[in-house]
């Protein structure tokens, strides 16, 4: 008669080790996915900010051009003559202060 193998002598499968390894792997995958999503979100945010910056720079350049036009001496002289009725002073209207 052959001896039956004793259960205590057979090596047991370390289920606890497999559960820990599976938990570590799952956690690692979740952290990787989270970090990848954050990178994409930041990339989109940076892209949006760059587009907004370009738009604001264009607006600023247009406003600088408009300001230069509004401050031009020719325009101011034209408004003074046409709208306000101003003229250069006559020689007798000029007073020289010693």
Domain map of the chain by residue range?
16-85
Q: What is the pLDDT of residues 52-88, one digit of tens each?
A: 999 999 999 999 999 999 999 999 999 999 999 999 8
Q: The pTM is what? A: 0.58
The residue with greater pLDDT, 45 or 10, is: 45
Average pLDDT, the chain: 90
* pLDDT beyond 70 at 12: no
In the numeric block, the tokens 């945010």 are attached to 45
Name the percent of the chain lying above pLDDT 90.
Answer: 71
* pLDDT beyond 60 at 1: no
Transcribe 36-54 into DSSP letters: HHHHHHHHHHHHHHHHHHH
């Amino acid at each position: 008669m052959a001896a039956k193998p004793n259960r205590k002598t057979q090596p047991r499968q370390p289920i606890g080790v497999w559960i820990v390894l599976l938990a570590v792997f799952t956690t690692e995958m979740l952290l990787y996915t989270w970090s990848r999503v954050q990178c994409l979100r930041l990339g989109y945010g940076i892209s949006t900010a760059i587009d907004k910056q370009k738009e604001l720079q264009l607006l600023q350049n247009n406003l600088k051009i408009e300001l230069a036009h509004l401050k031009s001496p020719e325009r101011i002289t034209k408004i003074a003559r046409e709208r306000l009725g101003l003229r250069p002073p006559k020689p007798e209207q000029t007073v020289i202060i010693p």
